[in-house]
Chains A and B, each alone.
Chain A
Amino acid sequence: MAAAGSPVANEVAITPTSTRSPLADITVAGRVADEQGQALPGVNVVVKGTTNGAQTNTDGRYSITAPDNATLVFSFVGYTSQEVAVNGRTSVNVSLAPDAQTLNDVVVVGYLTQNRQEVTGSVATVSGTDVRRAPVATLGEGIQGRLPGVQVTNSGIPGQAPVVNIRGIGSISSGGGPLYVVDGLWTTNLRDFNPQDVESVQVLKDAASLAPYGSSGANGVIIITTRRGKAGTPAVNFNVYGGLQNITKTYDLMNSQQWATINNQAHDNAGVPRLPYANNLPTDPATGQVLDTDWQKELIKQGSVQSYDLKFSGGSKADNSASNYLIGLGYFKQNGTTIEPKFERYSARINSGLTRGRLRVGESLLLTRTNQTRLNGLPFNDVLRMLPVIPVYDPTRSGGFGYGDVNASTFGTNPIALQKLLNSTGTSNRLQGSIYGEFDITSFLRYRLNLAAEYQAYHDRDKRQYGQWRQNDPLNPSYYSEAQGNDLFGLAENTLTFDKSFGNHNVTAVAGYSSQRQHNEYTFGRNNDYGTGPVYYWALDAGSTAPQVVGSQFTWYKTSYFGQLTYDYNRRYLLTAAIRRDGSSRFAPSDRWGTFWAASAGWRISEEEFFQNTAETVNNLKLRASYGALGNDFIGGAYGGSYRYQGVINPNVNYPLGTSQTIINGQVQTQLASPGIAWEDRRTSNFGLDAGFLQDRITLSADYYISKTINALVDPPIATFYGNAGGNPYQRIGQLENKGFELSLGYNENRKAFKYSATGNLTTLKNRVTRLRDNSDQPFSFVGGPSDATRTEEGYEIGSFYLYQMDGIFQTADEIASSAQPQASPGDVRYRDTNSDGVINPQDRVHVGRVFPKIQYGLNLTASYGNFDVVAFFQGVQGNDVLNVGHWWLDRTDDNTNYRSDFNPWTPDNRSTTTPRAVIAGAPGGSDAATSAGTNSFLNSTRWLESGSYLRLKNAQIGYTIPKETLSRLKALGSLRVYVTGQNIFTITKYTGYDPETVGSGTLARGVDDGSFPNIRTFTLGLQMGF
């Protein structure tokens, strides 16, 4: 049964034998334990070179008769086998280490579990150990950089889910988030999932692997398996870590004195009266010193993270039956690195299962409660816009916070006031669970029923105190609002699996039926005028004017039929095929059904006779290819996009009438329907290679893919005179292409006491819109980002930068005279007249830069010796650009903001070639300075486009396992490991903003850093205890 070349550790099928060797001399006995000292039952103990073997019992004990010079081989699934020479001893105790390769050995593809060796699609995996190492709230952050082809971008806001894209973006209108399958539950939300529960994570990327998921698989699937109990003595494990978090990079900004110099210069250059507080610096009444607010310092603080995870697990194993259980309790808390936001999560997990004869039943359940205080506004822009001469607190203003006025004018928001006066919180209770039952009808036919559900109930509250945080805001009364809702998703899958070998022909086939349903309910209430404080009564009843009530519900439903087939000849020639037919309630009856399919083939060259000579060096070599079509029915809009094909009447187009101005109900259609919508169609070709050298000490996996989305649902602009309100009608007119190369290369040495490994991955990605038009008309384009800095159109990336090109600074009047900017003055920005028409206007903007990195990579280094273990994980991207909006706020000068301390604008005595002269807006109409203030500050120019490349030491950990002898004095403790972890330890980048890793401003502006919250550096101390 064992395939040639596969590690012994994979095989459990060596039957214990009672045959005594005639050469037996002594009886050797002992205990086998895992890395934490827990007993390992079921370990095979074999005398090397014979069939003589035994198995450990539930206490991990074994006994075997062997020659006194024999070598014993200890092997167990999931652990590296160990060979121990007896040397005449009668007691041999062994501790087995987990096998890092194991996770690669079995993968789930759709409704089948395959040996890694036989997979013909593109599948990447990461172990739970690696995921759990990161001191982070979400799984997405834990897998960042570890998987080729998976792009994760994150921010430092507590409780925010990172943006995950697999192989680029395949949809313009419906985003690109993957499907997560957690123990059989399909979900798109993992924020409330406890990463400490992860056993393994696996990513499916090509059509062959994804076709079984049909319409939900178009953006990739991440399969998460959670930890389960193991047979043996019940284990009690407690893991705890805690640490500090900091924003490491801030701008070096000007103090009041420096700021006033530049600000006065900007006003003088424009011929506009100086700002009173720049002309005469104000004093801080408290100190008598010049008022000098460091807004960054006021906003940013040290944050903290802590996590507690307690797990009870165990199980039993006997002939023809087994059981396992795991009970886990978790608590995670993060206090933000800016004032106010925080996040905490309580989680409980109950996983269990049993095998009895031909029946297997298992269950997986997660209950969580999260509490979150949200971040309001874009404080990382506002700290740049607020002036150092404005105090944070100003008791003369309503609400008690300082903000701009005629003396120190800015339209920036006091970010402290915004956090303090508006308290926005959310709680969420979530259940994610699944139950399966599997029955072997015959030895080769089994039936499985999988039932899964996700239920979330959330409650959001906004408490808005009286007071102002920005110049020129109307005086809003205090208000209070509550939003409550719940979301129930259910999934039922019936599958029948046929699995049989006919000689060298091995066949597995699955047929199934599934249905999915999601139901969402939402209510919102708001009331106004809660007085002016300082005591507020935050109940909806307590407001005094104009209460508002909103509510809605929606349901969508999906029915699917599917089949999956794998066939191989002698484990050498591999074929798979999958088909899935999905019907979605989101589409009109005529467009409702879509059929998705894929086929793949693989050739394990290393299994060929002619290859056996090189098997010592190249133990595995496989070529594979796949092609298939996937769909997508996720579209945005009201009610989760559930009813977009139907024209609907807006039930609240109201109007006050009558002497008492009663609000009378009006109803009418206000948004056009999308009658023609149907499945998006994403087609992917994948070519791959897997190789293993030197008994898999070196492993290599490479993939090249071309993924094309045709009939992409796009909601292009339509003429305004149709009067459409809300999103425009969807049409199936887009085509997109994602192409890329993915490489994973590892070296793993665990034969000696000093164990080490290096695993690197590299991904390239090219995203392009290949068509964006209907059959007859001219192409469409979509703009995105602030000042329409991006444009999505045919021939370019989604969200491609579309900018004026800065071409230096005018130094002389002669240069100006011969330019396309006759109204410019020396010191102004020169832009490239790209169409050479003699004027600089919007037609001179061009596509420039790159949104998607040319390369993203990760490098994981591990080493262990004795009781020490070390891990370092580097991650980075190369070849993309970021539009730095923060930089624009600081350097634009037409608007009053603070400036960088090394900001040195052009003056006749300082002829900068990169920084134009400072000119405030508001110069008298028609003057050159008025023009300069406008053109010098174009946000949509290359002046603000910076390289987004970075290399980051994402994670490093040093651990020490306390020796057993030391621990034995502490009777309660079975094992103890102490470790120190750092996250985002250092970053090498030329980017001048807070963080080059930006979550962007939506799909159409993902390269725009508009006040993104930077990633944070974390150092934690942790303990792993076994009892």
Chain B
Amino acid sequence: MKRYKLPLAALLSSMLLTTACEKDPLNQVNPNQPTTTSFWANGTDAVKGVNAAYSGLQQLGTYRRWLNFAYDLRSDEGFSNSPWGELASFTRFVLTNYNFEVNDVIWRDNYRAIWRTNQVIANVPNIPSTAIEENMRKRVLAEAKFLRALNYFNLVSLYGRVPLLLTPSDPEAPLPPQAEPAQVWEQIIADLQAAKPDLPASYTGNDIGRATNGAATTLLGKAYMQNKQWALASAQFQEVIGSNQYRLTTTYTDNFRHTTENNSESIFEVQFSDAKLGGNDGDDATSSEGGQRSQFWGAPNAGGFVDGEVRPWIVSEFLQEGTTAGTRDPRLAATVFYNRRQFPTSLPVDGDTLVYGTGFLTRYNNNATNRTRVYWRKYQTDYYRTFENFDSPINQRVMRYADVLLLQAEALNEQGRTADAVTLINQVRTRAMLTPLVAGTFNQTSLRMQIMHERITELTGEGLRWFDLQRWGLLDNQAGLDRLRAHDSDFNNFVIGKSNRLPIVQRDIDLTGLQQNPGW
């Protein structure tokens, strides 16, 4: 055996050499994607990163689908009679499975969006100044902070005590703290204050739709409002109003159509597009960029699932007064599809409400139940087509100028400046062809009630009512609850001290020992 040792070794080594002379093939580089270590190299990466953070707003658990259920259908404006029992129960404050898809996905997708903003905020400062323009660095960081604030704004309003993650997610690192709501609000305010100076007043071209100074200022004002810090809030709103960047559109419906997006009234919109028709949820090259609210809340026999409906008292609220021309408030038909002969009013019956091209009574002639229901029209696509699908192109207006005017009116009224408030309200009323209010006829309390009415007629179905109910304390005491129950029998299930928050997802409680919200 001995004498074969040498040739054997030579043969073996030559075999090895022939295959081993190339670069080590065990180091395979992913040809499809940059790695986390190679990315964040320059200004282009920074912008792409923050674009992805915006995309976090278009997910199922954010504005694409479920957030609308949590805000509009859980409030007394809307309700659900979905055949999906668990979904209907969710909107009725009944939830036994805290991992229920809707609750889970809202929690999940807000945090997914936050992880993205945290990546931007952590990595963009490290990009060498030779590779990024300093103004761009500031703007991108400010956009990310605005977006992080918006996501936490939603989380704290829905869940209360939430884990506060401010750096990129790392399951191996110590657990993030479960913050008190006040801490979360502090963070929101800090992020917005930091963002404001670095955000431009407006954008041009393909940057239209990004967070502006006005958007950060408005959101900051709203944060103060939710904490009843009226003076601080009205300072912010005054900045917005005084900036002369915004004015109400002539036509109310311009605010809910894809043909008039990012208009003069718009402060911040989640952008949706139907360019990826039939695309999947999530984020890849084929993912849909559309909204789904119109499919889920669409009227029956017109392609909609009718998972969300409007409480009829909303219609009555509109019918309390007519326009200067003696007609019904034009915002009513823009907000809902309804049987215009059903509601007692002295106002004349106006033109037939067309439901996807067919008159309401014609379409529901044979169905006594459907004939009495009130369906959502705001954000529905009936104005340009006869069906719904999973890819609505209509941007969701998260913040618009009419809301700012009414919030400022409220903030001023709370500070005793009732007359100043009336002027602002009248801007909104005038567009709706309503008679202007007369300042002298209101005191602080009566204007408070008037503002509540104005917000219903102007803003129903825009995801704002839930915040209003929280701010006005209607969810905190029996008197408030009784008022809501008169509108919405779902509130019979509402438990004070419990139902104002959603339960924290059970999985995260099991895995990390988070504390559940009271009552759940």
State which of B15, B45, B261, B274 has its C-beta within 8 Å of the C-beta of A667.
B45
A648/B51 contact (C-beta < 8 A), A494-B15, A722-B169 known: no
Would you give the shortest CB distance from B208 to chain A, in whole angstroms?
A: 5
> Assuming the A-B contacts A445-B4, A661-B393, are A557 and B26 also in contact, with contact meaning beta carbons closer than 8 angstroms in the complex?
yes
Contact indicator B54/A655 (Cβ below 8 Å): yes
Q: Which of A75-83, A127-135, A581-589 contacts B (4 or more CB under 8 A)?
A: A581-589
Is B108 an interface residue when CB atoms closer than 8 A count as contact?
yes
Q: Which of A56-64, A182-190, A469-477 contacts B (4 or more CB under 8 A)?
A: A469-477
Query: Taking CB as reference atom, which chain B residue is nearest A511?
Result: B12
Residues of A within 8 A of B210 (CB): 657
Contact A723 B114 (CB under 8 A): yes
Q: Are A649 and B11 in contact (CB under 8 A)?
A: no
| Residue ID in chain A nearest B88 by CB atoms | A925
- Quick check: B209 and A657 within 8 Å, CB to CB? yes
Contacts of B441 in A (CB 8 A): none
Contacts of B313 in A (CB 8 A): none
CB distance from A732 to the nearest CB of B (A): 14
Please determine whether A665 and B112 come into contact, CB atoms closer than 8 angstroms: no
Could you tell me the distance in whole angstroms from the C-beta of A637 to the nearest C-beta in chain B? Answer: 12
What mask results when residues 379 to 409 of chain B are scored 1 for a CB within 8 Å of chain A, else 0? 0000000011110010000000000000000
Residues of chain B within 8 A of A546, CB atoms compared: 274-279
Q: A657-B206, A721-B508 are in contact. Are A513 and B16 (CB under 8 A)?
A: yes
Complex alpha-carbon distance, A585 and B24, angstroms: 10
The reply to whether the CB of A456 lies closer than 8 angstroms to some CB of chain B is no
Q: Which of A550, A667, A719, A934 contacts B507 (CB 8 A)?
A: A719
Q: Which residues of B contact A545 (CB under 8 A)?
A: 277
Cβ proximity bits B18-41 to A, threshold 8 Å, 1 near / 0 not: 010000011110111111110100
**Surface stretch bound by A, among B248-256, B282-290, B332-340:** B282-290
User: B8 — nearest CB in chain A belongs to which residue?
Assistant: A496
Q: How far is the CA of A648 from the CA of B114 in the complex (A)?
A: 18
A639 is an interface residue with CB less than 8 A from chain B: yes
Complex CA distance for A643 and B111, rounded to whole angstroms: 25
Q: Which of B25, B32, B36, B278 contacts A647 (CB 8 A)?
A: B36
Of B33, B92, B508, chain A has the most CB atoms within 10 Å of the CB of B33
- Return chain B residues, CB-CB under 8 Å to A442: 4
B80 close to A (CB within 8 Å): no
Question: Does any Cβ of B come within 8 Å of A642's Cβ?
Answer: yes
Contact among B27, B36, B262, B289 with A585 in the assembled complex (CB-CB below 8 Å):
B27
The residue in chain A whose Cβ has the minimal distance to the Cβ of B30 is A643
List CB contacts (< 8 Å) of A749-778 with chain B: none
A896-921 interface code vs B (CB 8 A; 1 in, 0 out): 00000000000000000000000001
Q: Are A639 and B119 in contact (CB under 8 A)?
A: no
Q: Which residue of A lies closest to B176 (CB)?
A: A721
A550-570 contacts to B, CB under 8 A, are 550, 552-559
Q: Indicate whether B447 reaches chain A with its CB closer than 8 angstroms.
A: no
Closest chain B residue, CB of each to CB of A723: B115
Query: Is B501 an interface position by the 8 A CB rule?
Result: no
Q: Which residues of A contact B427 (CB under 8 A)?
A: none
Out of B28, B96, B271, B505, which one reaches A720, CB within 8 Å? B505
The 8 Å CB contact of B512, one of A646, A670, A719, is A719
Q: Which of B171, B278, B393 is in CB contact (< 8 Å) with A729?
A: B171
Contact with A along B107-122 (1 / 0, CB 8 A): 1100111111001100
B511 within 8 A of A: yes
Do B52 and A666 have beta carbons less than 8 Å apart? yes
Take A554-B30, A557-B26, A655-B289 as given contacts and tell me if A722 and B171 are in contact as well, using a CB distance cutoff of 8 Å: yes
* Residues in A neighbouring B19, C-beta threshold 8 A: 492, 513, 515
* B58 cross-chain contacts in A, Cβ below 8 A: 655
Contact B283 A654 (CB under 8 A): yes
Shortest Cβ gap from B262 to chain A (Å):
7
Q: Does any Cβ of A come within 8 Å of B323's Cβ?
A: no
A669 within 8 A of B: yes
- 62-97 of chain B: CB within 8 A of chain A: 83, 85, 92, 96-97
Which of A476, A589, A651, A657 has the largest number of chain B CB atoms within 10 A?
A657
With a cutoff of 8 Å between Cβ atoms, the chain A residues found around residue B11 in the complex are: 447, 496
A7 to chain B, nearest CB (A): 34
Tell me how far the C-beta of B65 lies from the nearest C-beta in chain A, rounded to whole angstroms. 13
- Per-residue CB proximity of A51-92 to B under 8 Å, as 1/0? 000000000000000000000000000000000000000000
- The answer, yes or no, to whether B104 is at the interface (CB within 8 Å) is yes
Q: What are 30 A-B contacts defined by CB distance under 8 Å?
A: A472-B305, A474-B389, A479-B278, A513-B16, A548-B279, A553-B31, A554-B31, A554-B32, A557-B28, A642-B30, A649-B36, A654-B51, A656-B275, A657-B51, A657-B206, A658-B206, A658-B207, A666-B49, A666-B54, A668-B52, A669-B115, A670-B112, A670-B116, A719-B512, A721-B165, A723-B111, A723-B112, A723-B114, A723-B116, A724-B112
Which residue numbers of A lie inside 8 Å of B, CB to CB?
A: 442, 445, 447, 472, 474-477, 479, 492, 494, 496, 511, 513, 515, 517, 524, 526, 528-529, 545-546, 548-550, 552-559, 583-585, 589, 592, 639, 642-643, 646-670, 672-673, 717-725, 729, 841-842, 921-922, 925, 934
